[in-house]
Amino acid sequence: MPRIRESEDAVILFSLPHLEELKLHGIDGDYGNFPPEISLNSELKKHAHNLRRLAITTLQDFRRFLEIGFGPSHRLDCLVDLPVLLELEVELFALVGSRLNMRDTQLEKTLPVSLKKLVLWEEWWADRADYAADGCVVMFAIVAILFAVLFAVWLYLLLGKRQKKGTGSPKLESGKSLLAELLAEEKVSLSTAKEPSSGPRRIKGELRKADGPKSAVHVEPQRRVQILVFFSSLTGSTERTAKQFTATLEASLLDQISESDQAFLKPQLLDLTQIDYDEFFISPPKSAEGSRPVDYFYLILLPSYNIDTINDNLLEHLKETHNDFRIDKASLAGLLGYSVFGLGDQEGWPTEEEGFCFQAKEVDKWMAKLTGRKRAYPLGMGDSKRDLKERLAEWTEGVTEVVRQSAKTGCLGDGVPGSGDAVESDDEYVSGGDDDGEVVVDEPVQPKKTKKSTRDIDDVEDLGRIMKTSRADANDATSRAPIAVDFTTYSKTSKKPPQTVKEMVAKSSPTYAALTKQGYSIVGSHSGVKICRWTKSALRGRGSCYKFSFYGINSHQCMETTPSLSCSNKCVFCWRHGTNPVGTTWRWVVDPPDLIFDGVKAGHYQKIKMMRGVPGVRAERFAEAMRIRHCALSLVGEPIFYPHINEFLALLHGERISSFLVCNAQHPEQLAALKAVTQLYVSIDASNRESLRRIDRPLHRDFWERFLRCLDILRERRFRQRTVFRLTLVKGFNVEDEVEGYADLVERGLPCFVEVKGVTYCGTSSSGGKGGGLSMANVPFYAEVTAFVEALDRRLRERGLGYGIAAEHAHSCCVLLASERFRVDGRWHTRIDYDRFFELLEERGPDGEWTPEEYMGEATPEWATWGNGGFDPRDERVDRKGRKIEA
């Protein structure tokens, strides 16, 4: 860069039309005498929209320096008007002049918002050796240099003495170094530059502007942006749309990686039915330890349904998280931003008021609250039969632009927190309508008594007065009932819309269509019945269920049903691949138990009749099948979730139909209120909290506590009815290294029996995604199941718990461990005397007292005991193609 000596030089310099970087070394001459039209400030402003980097070393005008000093107020008024300036480097001493000038100048107000890097140099002397333009300047320079040499020698000797004493940087005034002064007064971050010990000392550093309430959120260099695309889908259409959107978004962002300080990670597509809400919707995901930090951006594609789906669970989770006093109300404020797109059908819901995309609107509202209003782009809505492609394309373009901007500037845009004042005035954000975090205590209104003082304790004597008052209050409180405290806070002024009770599975819903396609007969609005494959097999004389080998149940006389298709888990091995409803509380229409009972019987008999023309069906078994003797309440869902489960059980027992009820150990209150059943099961799918979270994917936050409480209830009932732990082994999830944990659970619950069964492969879920859905690789071989059972048996014997391996059913991949209570004269008695059970029930009632041993049946057949396979010798074994298998 040539030296600027005259005003004509400045004219040439500042006439460059596309100037983006400027570095000035020593502007000579009396700069104050330059014509006004080419002043430094005015000329720099002409390049305001282009100038990104500016470096100035020594504005040399020593004559004016001695008179008025230098400083931003004199030389660089234009800085604040340079909107794209990213880097600024100046010599602190020459620019500012003196420390007092620095103190009086508020740099934060004179620097542009866009500035990311500021380098300040402090020089003890502006050592420039080119002032020989004319004699006067040369003489002045010589004098200055001589003075500088003398000053440097004196300073060198002084520094030498201080270094011997162990002192640090040179002191400028009042015993404080300039570095300390700048840190204390201007809050600048300075780093010391290395200089030769014989030369003048320099301090080099960077100044970072403090974030104000209206300043932009600057993204730190070397951070990465991870976009998470969430979706829910019942029929698969939204899933296809989400996949296409994710691919389009990824392609449009590829060219931004090299243009931004941030790197875009590959967008991830997540199914809401397959994730744990606590990992994503309580706080943003955490970056891996030791890796570069990641900023997360949420995009949610959500259809709306008028039936109970995973969308309702998501909304319930968002509401609970916001209203939970233990969690920050804006717990997702760490997100870079979010946006929601709703998919709907205007044929059924023509307007938004009538329900068009109503669930997407609700999710958008609650996400705004949880993120602290970080809505990066407005809610998009599209009609799947009209304008979905056009609306989605518009939303995609807008979202992409916002993501690009946030990556470049760390700012979401005007009106969004992080870039200035929020301009939203929607009633959902009015602070007065929100809760204040107080615990609401509901108690009866009591007449006011003497007014008590509420002032603070000022003296020890006040403590005695307060203690007396407290005793009086305690005596008065003994006559009142305990106060119920709801630790969930809700809005005091918000008006909840009237809740319409929905059907769990409406006939017009996709859930109804999916379940009926799978062979279910839907009864009422929330119950179902389906014929079991072992029922079909038994009718043809090709083998029975393991329940026949273990407990004497005739499979062709067994009905598999459930009074509640809804469940509180989303198990990875679920037979229904997530098509059945889920929920944590009952919020649907409740069908009467007699309607369900009559409906499931009719549905079962209808399916049995459909078997009459199937080749191989035995006439005698077909006739017996028209009399239901057993009911397995284990079809799908959570039977005890049904509010009238005890009445339904009474109807079963009234017709002498035995009840085998299975629960998922997530509803301890309902389990505790359950009356007598023939055999009570609890599914034990994992031995520890984390494993249970991965396998069952429960909806309750306190799922482990609920699980343990259910085990305690079974322990209490072990001498009143037959209790069973059912362990489902899933290879790669809960088989390896969990024997000890299962032994702990058995010791806690002490069930009568422990069934260990390999998971049944029912096809890979199309929406399984990462971590969801199973393949044949997850199904353990029977040898692996028996090895696990033998290891568990050893652990139980070592603890002296009194269990042994009683029976097996190899073609169900199932083995039974039983308590020694059911071993009589050296033989296992695992079967049930069903007639005796009903006699006890009729004699003593469903709340009566009796023990499992009182209706213990005959000895377990030899062919069903451990080591003999468990196949009924009366039946004929065939392969998958119906060909007979020789023994």
Shared-domain flag, residues 264 and 405: yes
786-798: pLDDT as tens digits: 999 999 999 999 9
What pLDDT shows up at residue 547?
Answer: 93
Predicted confidence band of residue 200 (pLDDT cuts 50, 70, 90):
very low
What lies within 8 Å, CB to CB, of 436 at 6+ separation is 489, 492
Cα-to-chain-centroid distance, residue 637:
24
Mean pLDDT taken over the chain = 75
So what's the pLDDT on residue 148? 83
Please report the pLDDT score of residue 597 as a whole number: 96
pLDDT greater at residue 17 or residue 320: 320
For residue 53, name the pLDDT band (cuts at 50, 70, 90).
Answer: confident
Q: Are both 183 and 247 inside the same structural domain?
A: no
Within a domain: 124: yes
Torsion of CA 404, 406, 407, 410, to 10 degrees: 160
According to the per-residue pLDDT averaged within each range, which of 248-257, 459-468, 592-601 is highest?
592-601
Q: The domain that contains 242 carries what CATH number?
A: 3.40.50.360
**% of the chain with per-residue pLDDT over 70:** 67
Confidence of residue 848 (pLDDT cuts 50, 70, 90): confident
202, 239: one domain: no
The answer to whether residue 438 is domain-embedded is: no
Residue 695 pLDDT > 90, yes or no?
Answer: no
The secondary structure of the chain in percent helix, strand, coil, rounded to multiples of 5, reads 35, 15, 45
pLDDT at 67: 38
Is residue 267 included in any domain, yes or no? Answer: yes
Beta strands in 215-344 (DSSP E): 224-231, 263-264, 268-271, 294-303, 337-344
Encoding tokens for residue 474?
A: 């305690």
Whether 611 shows a pLDDT value over 80: the answer reads yes
Write down the pLDDT at residue 551. 95
236 and 142 fall within a common domain: no
124 pLDDT tier (thresholds 50, 70, 90): very low
Residue 679 lies in a domain: yes
- Out of 437-451, 643-657, 769-783, which region has the weakest mean confidence (pLDDT)? 437-451
The answer on 315 and 275 residing in a single domain is yes
Which of 554, 516, 556, 518 lies closest to 536, judged by CA?
Answer: 556
455 in any annotated domain: no
* Mean pLDDT value of segment 439-465: 40
Q: What total of structural domains would you count in the chain?
A: 3
User: Ranked by mean pLDDT, which of 169-173, 750-754, 757-761 comes out on top?
Assistant: 750-754
pLDDT at 257: 54
pLDDT at 163: 56
The domain in which residue 376 lies consists of 224-417
Domain boundary among 358, 382, 417: 417
Quote the distance between the C-alpha of residue 472 and its chain's center.
48
- Asked if 114 and 168 sit in the same domain, the reply is yes
pLDDT at 856 over 90: yes
Tokens 């969430």 correspond to 230
Query: Higher pLDDT residue, 351 or 597?
Result: 597
Q: pLDDT-based confidence at 215, cuts 50/70/90?
A: very low
Q: What is the pLDDT of residue 446?
A: 43
Most confident among 110-124, 472-486, 713-727 (mean pLDDT) = 713-727
Q: Which residues pair with 200 in a beta bridge?
A: none
**Region 528-532: what's the mean pLDDT?**
92
Give residues with Cβ within 8 angstroms of 731, minimum separation 6: 759, 777, 778, 779, 780, 784
Report pLDDT for 265. 86
The per-residue pLDDT for 803 is 96
Please state the φ and ψ torsions of residue 475, each to the nearest 5 degrees.
-65, -40
- For the chain, how far is it from start to end, CA to CA, in angstroms? 97
Among the candidates 206, 241, 275, a domain finishes at 206
pLDDT tens for 484-496 read 333 444 444 444 4
What is the residue type of 735? V
- 100: pLDDT confidence band, cut at 50, 70 and 90? very low
Query: Looking at the structure, do residues 184 and 254 belong to the same domain, yes or no?
Result: no
Segment 829-853 mean pLDDT: 94
Q: Is residue 873 part of a domain?
A: no
Q: What is the mean pLDDT of residues 729-746?
A: 86
Looking at residue 135, its pLDDT comes to 54
On whether both 198 and 236 belong to a single domain, the answer is no
Please report which helix (H) or strand (E) contains residue 803, including its range.
Answer: strand 803-809
135: Cβ contacts below 8 Å, ≥ 6 apart: none
Residue 494 lies in a domain: no
pLDDT at 696: 83
User: Does 228 or 151 have the greater pLDDT score?
Assistant: 228
Classify burial at 622, counting beta carbons within 10 Å of its beta carbon; exposed 0-12, middle 13-18, buried 19 or more: middle
Whether residues 202 and 232 fall in one domain = no
User: What local confidence, expressed as pLDDT, does residue 650 receive?
Assistant: 96
Indicate whether 836 belongs to any domain: no
Contact predicate 272/772, CB 8 Å: no
Could you identify the residue written with the tokens 């797109």?
Answer: 341
> What's the pLDDT at 207?
40
- Examine the pLDDT at 511 and tell me if it is beyond 90: no
Poorest-confidence range of 452-461, 537-546, 598-607, 608-617?
A: 452-461
Q: In the structure, what pLDDT confidence band is assigned to residue 681 with cuts at 50, 70 and 90?
A: very high
Average pLDDT over residues 409-429: 47
pLDDT of 258 above 60: no
| Structure-model confidence comparison of residues 4 and 281, the more confident one | 281
- pLDDT-based confidence at residue 445 (cuts at 50, 70, 90): very low
- For the ranges 26-30, 177-181, 774-778, 856-860, the maximum mean pLDDT occurs at 856-860
Q: What does the alpha-carbon distance between residue 832 and residue 836 come to, in Å, rounded to a whole number?
A: 9
pLDDT at residue 499, rounded to an integer? 58
Examine the domain organization and report whether 228 and 199 are in the same domain.
no
| CA angle, 682 then 725 then 755, to 5° | 130
Which of 674, 517, 260 is closest to 682 using CA atoms?
674
Q: Decide: 391 and 346 in contact? Cβ < 8 Å.
A: no
Q: Which amino acid is at 458?
A: D
Find the mean pLDDT for residues 725-746: 87
Identify the residue whose tokens are 């669970």. Answer: 313
Position 663, amino acid: C
The whole-number pLDDT of residue 486 equals 38
**According to the per-residue pLDDT averaged within each range, which of 105-114, 118-127, 462-471, 807-816 is highest?**
807-816
| One domain, residues 192 and 252 | no
Q: Of 110-124, 145-159, 585-599, 661-675, which range is least confident?
A: 110-124
Averaged pLDDT, 588-608: 94
Are 729 and 759 in contact, with CB atoms under 8 Å apart?
yes
- Domain end, chosen from 384, 417, 450, is at 417
Question: Looking at residue 436, what is its pLDDT?
Answer: 35
CATH of the domain at 743: 3.20.20.70
Q: Say if residue 357's pLDDT is above 60.
A: yes
Q: Looking at residue 104, what is its pLDDT?
A: 52
For residues 578 and 715, membership in a common domain is answered with yes
Query: What is the structure's pLDDT at 628?
Result: 95
Torsion angles phi and psi, residue 54, rounded to 5: -140, 125
